[in-house]
Structure 1
Amino acid sequence: MQKKSNRWFIWVFVVVAVVALVGFSFGSIFDSLLSSRPSPSPTVPTPGTTPTPPVVSDIEKKNLKDLENGYLQILEKEPDNPDALRGLAEARSQMIKIGLKTEKDLLDPLEKLVELNPEQTQYQVLLAQTLQKTGKRESAAQTYRSILATEPGNMDALQGFVNLLVEQQRPSAATELLQTTLKNAPQANQVKPNSINESAVQLLLGQVYATQRQFDQAVGVYDKLIAKDPNDFRPVFAKAILLREQGKTKEADILFNSAEKLAPGQYKDQIKAAAQKPNETPEASPSSQSPSASPQPSPSSTPGTPE
């Protein structure tokens, strides 16, 4: 049972690492949507570690509480004030990071923002992800389905829904969702060019296969992506992690090196960290700048900026 648990953690890491490395994280979506400040670079976790909460002074905590109270006072008089709702959601998201609030505290402002801005699917994605974190999985699934019904190529919603299905031990449903998306992509892209990024969907499909230890299928997906675009570091990196999990360390090391050479500069340190063997200590390196700003490796559009 312990061995199975460890394997599951490793493949969750595969998904998180690849997703974070291409700037495809809900955290970055939330920061960029609700804040005018640049988002920090998503961090690639290493197996066996958990993120360390930031150290925040009492003054900073008090400032966040005062900020929250200020927005609440505005909303008492103007319950539909969009700036106050966004400000409240952002303040509470920062408070969640330091343990002053929980995800449940985000539901009210996000639900209101979705109600007031039904055309902005970013709010719906954030609401779905928050519902998922708070255990309201069916409500989260309904929200994801609603987004994908009108935007089948919305990678944020697709990623979230796939994660939810895998969490629910429904990998076949996740695979079917992605295969259906790929099947419908040519027609959808004729109607609206580039509305579904087939390479990004295939990369996600490979990760689902990997989490289920369907190695041949996963390698097949990655090999097709590599053949399609030899300069795309993402499938090379994903295949490297998969081969290392299979014990094929020499082949994996070759691919890690290739991925590092192919990747833009801001990703190289993260690839090095992910490539470290369990008994090795990664060298300290400066943090990368915002991956979501890079034009090359975005999963939402290759190349281009995330839509």
Structure 2
Amino acid sequence: MRFHHTPATAVTLSPPAADSETALTEEEAERVLEERLSANPADVDVLRALMECKIKARKIDEAFRVLDRLIELQPEEYEWPLLKANMHIYNDNHAAARELFEEMLKKDPLRVEAFHGLVMATSQLNEPLKALLKRVEEATEACKKQNRNSDVRDFRLLIAQIKVMEGNFPEALKAYQDLVKEEPRDFRPYLCQGIIYTLLRKKDEADKQFDKFRRLVPKDHPYMEYFEDNMFATKFFSQKLEREGAGVRD
């Protein structure tokens, strides 16, 4: 989501003057970027735009090579290794992703995004989350002591998410409800509660939470697209659980 509305491609790419009204295709855009890069191999803006083109075209191996060049040019830029780790998850290389997230946490032990990715990678490796949950709780307490309130809230959302992944829906719901009481205009807990109620096949409760989410989330926010893209999958999973449960009862 961090790269969802990045304007780099639009800014860097401009059609040739003789054909200014014709939009470039993805292949043409990629070719133009590669030509510009050959003239200036250290142009970070062009590299970033090229990487985005490669990702959109699902040319993941090529995107990795561009991303490695960005990491080489900007070793202190935190976003590049974070993106690389998430690309490993997308590429089903969860062990490599976990290793990168752990490296990030060695440099910054309270980085929420790295913990979030680490939870995802560990879960995909079918390993228990208990030890990792304890680390997240410790990071939460450390942020409290430093008055990093935004990070504390993000960590609490992550703790609730771990509860969901463990199948502990009652505790997860309570955590989300507490977050709503503290900040009613944060749309994230409503979305999460709606998904849980959908999985529990409590349609009326789910619809209430989704309605609150829709009212609060900005129309152009990436969460809105996430919501639309994933609701079918959530409902499908809920129906699958229901069918499996009926089979057991039969």
Q: What TM-score do you get using the length of structure 1 for normalisation?
A: 0.60
Q: Tell me the secondary structure at the aligned position of residue 148 of structure 2.
A: coil
C-alpha offsets along residues 79-105 of structure 1, whole Å, 9 cap, x if unaligned?
A: xx2x2x542342142133135xx2111
Q: Does 1:199 align with 2:153?
A: yes
Of 81, 85, 93, which residue of structure 2 is paired with 1:128? 85
Q: How many residues are aligned here?
A: 223
Give the corresponding residue for 2:203: 249
Contact 1:209-1:218 at 8 Å conserved across structures: yes
Q: Tell me the secondary structure at the aligned position of residue 132 of structure 1.
A: helix
Of 117, 122, 129, which residue of structure 1 is paired with 2:74? 117
Of 47, 50, 57, which residue of structure 2 is paired with 1:98? 57
C-alpha offsets along residues 52-104 of structure 1, whole Å, 9 cap, x if unaligned?
A: xxxxx8855234223214314533xxxxx2x2x542342142133135xx211
Shift of 1:168: 1.2
AA in 1 matched with 2:71: V
Change beyond 3 A, Cα 1:266–1:165: same
Counterpart-to-counterpart distance in 1, 2:33 and 2:219: 37
Counterpart-to-counterpart distance in 1, 2:219 and 2:4: 19
Pairing of 1:1-307 with structure 2 (within 5 A): 25-28=1-4, 31=6, 37=11, 60-75=26-41, 81=42, 83=43, 85-99=44-58, 102-170=59-127, 172-173=128-129, 176-191=131-146, 193-194=147-148, 197-264=151-218, 266=220, 273=228
C-alpha offsets along residues 206-234 of structure 1, whole Å, 9 cap, x if unaligned?
A: 22332343212221221221232233222
Shift of 1:243: 0.9
AA in 1 matched with 2:75: P
Counterpart-to-counterpart distance in 1, 2:152 and 2:195: 22
Contact 1:103-1:133 at 8 Å conserved across structures: no
Contact 2:33-2:49 at 8 Å conserved across structures: no
AA in 2 matched with 1:94: C
Runs of 5+ consecutive residues of structure 2 not aligned to the other structure: 12-22, 237-250
Give the corresponding residue for 1:293: none
Counterpart-to-counterpart distance in 2, 1:64 and 1:236: 39
Change beyond 3 A, Cα 1:213–1:158: same
Contact 2:55-2:63 at 8 Å conserved across structures: no
Counterpart-to-counterpart distance in 2, 1:275 and 1:106: 29
Shift of 1:28: 2.5
AA in 2 matched with 1:260: R
Structure with bigger gyration radius: 2
Identity of aligned residues (%): 19
Q: Tell me the secondary structure at the aligned position of residue 197 of structure 1.
A: helix
Change beyond 3 A, Cα 1:160–1:217: same
Counterpart-to-counterpart distance in 1, 2:93 and 2:80: 17
Change beyond 3 A, Cα 1:184–1:246: same
AA in 1 matched with 2:211: N
Change beyond 3 A, Cα 1:219–1:195: closer
C-alpha offsets along residues 256-290 of structure 1, whole Å, 9 cap, x if unaligned?
A: 233334444556976985779969xxxxxxxxxxx
Runs of 5+ consecutive residues of structure 1 not aligned to the other structure: 1-24, 38-56, 76-80, 280-307
